[in-house]
């Protein structure tokens, strides 16, 4: 925090009374409830999940505290599980790419061609759906993409198809569309924050100096908004690793992702097996966050949302 | 930041510039349709006579709203959701605000690491928080699952939101104002009460609102930590899984209106108290 000089006179902070341990404890006391929640209800349960992932279940579904890597080995021995994991990664990458492209065009438009006042308003309108029920928004996609849904009706009315198509929902296409729908506002918000700081006259200057528009875009604009792009990727990709609602509602039997696998293990009381899947996701998420921590401006997004 | 109507901007750089601009505008419109289409359908179907939501619309009715008011289980779930949301919002706001003070004003040995630690529950997918809490409550702590465990679970995500929001606002409050108050005879407690709290009130309000909204809509953590009772989202989920239920659209519409009203009122209140006095580098976003 910066200490500012007001009106030429330096304002000195009153010397704080620093006493021994008791004073320090009193100073820390307001932090304790939050610290306890963070440690006791977040870090400890995650650590517990790691411990359980090394244990196993017997025939009575009781947890046996025998240490082994069996749950992890079994996971990778099962082709269905491995395929689900691979599909989750591909789905995550695809949705992230789609959100990035879709949101970039909008963010660029708002940052470059719209006054800041209207751009802010537009972003607010983009983010409002996020604050309405997630569950119900996904639910209403069923009515749009379904066999008797609006999309089929429109396509038939246009004469593009002759009978209702079942290709849009209860498969990976449905999951993809809905996931893009859910996460594109995040991407737009993050990308706008970064484009808003960009001075667009630089593009004109580059072109003045002979750069083609594509070159100016690649060599001038992209490097400057790279942190924003990385943040957007992280904000879209990580939640998809934990998506189990959308696939279970519009993904059908084939469209399940890794988090559905996790939820099913827990539903069937196979806790150590589920814990192993859970810990793998958690480790991957934390790895991503650590690797890209320099670029992440979580507070930016939190404060704007 | 230079002004946006730069003379250079009016110079045609590319003969495609106009086309690019128009396609961007169209794209923006398309995205808006994409974002609002499901919400629009939800509202329309809640007034549709047909039992199966779909086109064409058969006729206007308020029947589903009527059905909803007779549904005891649903109303019970709504009651549970509201109870949980109120408790979560009050606790998260109080706990988070207190922590933000310590975080910004010193006392924590590694403030940056602590801040990063608080972003983790926001970034880590809810399903992981849900299942790890399930293991914790059911297998380690031996706590029966109830609305209490739901509240505990939701605090894990809401407290960090409040901490980060309030801390970011508190960082922008000029301490000279407090020193001035102290100079004029205010006790530290009075200075906080009459100088600092009014300045960070918008952030506290924003934190409380976000807590309520997150709590009411929270599904994943609740799903794993709730016992025999149900909250509105878990009830809706089981009903949707069970079959087509038009009254769900009616609930959704009511919730949509409630959310919009809350946000409208909040932005009115927040809009008034946006700027922080005593800083030269411009306003700090709450």
Reported as a single tens digit per residue, the pLDDT across A165-221 is: 777 778 888 999 999 999 999 899 999 988 988 888 888 888 888 888 888 888 888
Q: Which residue of B has its CA nearest to A44?
A: B136
**Tell me: the pLDDT tens digits for B53-73?**
566 667 787 888 888 888 888
Best CA proximity match to A297, nearest among A181, A189, A180, A184: A189
Asked whether the predicted pLDDT for residue B5 surpasses 70, the reply is: no
Q: What is the pLDDT of residue A66?
A: 80
> Is A233 an 8 Å CB contact of chain B?
no
pLDDT tens for residues A111-162? 988 888 899 889 988 988 887 788 888 888 887 887 777 787 778 878 777 7
What are the chain A neighbours of B116 within 8 Å (beta carbons)? 293
Instruction: Give the pLDDT confidence score for residue B271 in this predicted structure.
Output: 66
Categorize the per-residue pLDDT at B268 as very low, low, confident or very high, splitting at 50, 70 and 90. confident
Under the banding of pLDDT at 50, 70 and 90, the label for residue A2 is very low
Q: Is the pLDDT of residue A272 over 60?
A: yes
B120 CB near a chain A CB, below 8 Å? yes
Contact in structure between B122 and B157 (CB atoms under 8 Å):
yes
Phi then psi dihedrals of residue A56, to 5 deg: -145, 170
For A63, residues 6+ apart whose C-beta sits below 8 A from its C-beta are A52, A55, A56, A57, A271, A272, B139
Write the DSSP symbol of residue A131.
G
> Nearest-CA distance from A48 to chain B in Å?
7
Over chain A, what is the mean pLDDT? 84
> Per-residue pLDDT for A298 more than 80?
no
Kindly tell me the burial class for residue A77, based on how many C-beta atoms sit within 10 Å of its own C-beta (0-12, 13-18, 19 or more): exposed
Q: Which residue, A234, A236, A238, is CA-closest to A292?
A: A234
Strand (E) or helix (H) holding B264:
helix B246-272
Q: How far does chain B reach from its first CA to its final CA, in angstroms?
A: 21
Superfamily of the domain at A73-304: MetI-like (1.10.3720.10)
Cβ within 8 Å of A, B 36-75 = 36-39, 41-42, 45, 52-56
Helix ranges restricted to H, chain A: 21-28, 32-38, 44-53, 70-77, 79-113, 116-127, 134-145, 150-157, 172-196, 201-208, 213-216, 222-241, 245-250, 258-267, 271-291, 298-304
Arithmetic mean of pLDDT over chain B: 83
pLDDT in tens, B8-37: 555 555 667 788 889 999 999 999 999 998
Cβ-based contacts of A104 with chain B (< 8 Å):
none
Q: Does the structure's ipTM exceed the value 0.90?
A: no
Distance (Å, whole) CA B250 – CA B46: 5
With an 8 Å Cβ cutoff, is A252 touching chain B?
no
Q: Could you tell me the residue ranges of all domains in chain B?
A: 13-46, 71-272
Nearest-Cα residue of chain A relative to residue B247:
A136
* CA distance linking residue A293 with residue A285, whole number of Å: 12
- Confidence grade of residue A20 (pLDDT, cut at 50, 70, 90): confident
Q: Which of A71-80, A256-265, B17-26, B237-246 has the lowest mean pLDDT?
A: B237-246
How confident is the model at residue A36, as a pLDDT? 94
Q: How far is A39 from chain B (nearest CA, A)?
A: 10
Closest CA to A186 of A82, A294, A302: A302
Write down the CATH superfamily of domain B71-272.
MetI-like (1.10.3720.10)
């Amino acid at each position: 925090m910066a200490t500012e000089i007001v009106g030429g006179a330096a304002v000195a902070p009153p010397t704080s009374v620093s006493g021994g341990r008791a004073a320090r404890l009193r100073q820390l006391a307001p932090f304790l409830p939050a610290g306890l929640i963070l440690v006791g209800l977040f870090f400890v349960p995650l650590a517990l999940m790691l411990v359980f992932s090394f244990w196993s279940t017997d025939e009575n579904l009781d947890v046996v505290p025998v240490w082994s890597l069996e749950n992890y080995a079994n996971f990778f021995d099962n082709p269905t599980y491995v395929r689900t994991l691979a599909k989750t990664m591909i789905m995550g990458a695809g949705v992230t790419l789609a959100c990035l492209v879709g949101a970039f065009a909008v963010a660029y438009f708002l940052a470059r061609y719209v006054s800041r006042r209207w751009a802010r308003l537009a972003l607010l309108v983009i983010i409002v759906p996020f604050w309405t029920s997630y569950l119900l928004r996904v639910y209403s996609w069923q009515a749009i993409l379904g066999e008797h849904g609006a999309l089929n009706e429109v396509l038939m009315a246009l004469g593009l198809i002759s009978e209702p198509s079942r290709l849009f929902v209860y498969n990976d296409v449905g999951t993809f569309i809905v996931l893009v729908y859910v996460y594109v506002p995040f991407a737009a918000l993050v990308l706008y924050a970064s484009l808003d700081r960009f001075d667009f006259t630089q593009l004109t200057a580059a072109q003045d100096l002979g750069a083609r528009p594509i070159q100016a875009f690649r060599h001038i604009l992209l490097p400057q908004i790279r942190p924003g792009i990385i943040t957007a990727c992280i904000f879209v990709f990580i939640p998809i690793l934990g998506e189990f609602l959308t696939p279970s509602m519009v993904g059908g039997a084939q469209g399940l992702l890794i988090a559905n696998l996790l939820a099913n293990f827990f539903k069937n009381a196979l806790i150590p097996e589920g814990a192993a899947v859970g810990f793998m996701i958690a480790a991957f998420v934390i790895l991503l966050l650590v690797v890209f921590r320099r670029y992440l401006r979580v507070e930016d997004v939190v404060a704007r949302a | 930041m230079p002004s946006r109507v730069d003379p250079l901007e009016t110079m045609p750089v590319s003969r495609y510039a106009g086309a690019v601009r128009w396609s961007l505008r169209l794209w923006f419109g398309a995205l808006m349709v994409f974002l609002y289409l499901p919400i629009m359908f939800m509202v329309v179907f809640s007034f549709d006579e047909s039992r199966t939501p779909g086109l064409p619309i058969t006729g206007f009715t308020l029947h589903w709203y009527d059905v909803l008011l007779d549904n005891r289980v649903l109303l019970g779930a709504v009651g549970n959701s509201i109870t949980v949301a109120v408790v979560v919002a009050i606790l998260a706001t109080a706990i988070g605000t207190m922590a933000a003070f310590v975080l910004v004003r010193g006392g924590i040995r590694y403030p940056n690491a602590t801040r990063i630690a608080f972003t983790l529950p926001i970034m880590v997918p809810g399903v992981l928080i849900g299942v790890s809490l399930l293991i914790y409550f059911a297998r380690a702590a031996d706590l029966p699952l109830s609305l209490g465990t739901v509240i505990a679970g939701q605090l894990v995500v809401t407290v960090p939101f409040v901490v980060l929001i309030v801390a970011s606002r508190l960082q922008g409050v000029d301490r000279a104002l407090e020193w001035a108050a102290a100079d004029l005879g205010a006790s530290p407690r009075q200075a906080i009460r009459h100088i600092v709290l009014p300045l960070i009130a918008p952030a506290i309000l924003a934190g409380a609102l976000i807590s309520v909204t997150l709590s009411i809509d929270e599904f994943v953590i609740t799903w794993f930590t709730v016992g025999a009772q149900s909250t509105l989202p878990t009830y809706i989920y089981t009903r949707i899984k069970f079959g087509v239920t038009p009254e769900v659209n009616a609930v959704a519409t009511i919730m949509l209106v409630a959310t919009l009203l809350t946000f409208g009122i909040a932005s009115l209140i927040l809009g008034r108290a946006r700027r922080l006095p005593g800083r030269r580098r411009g306003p700090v976003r709450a």
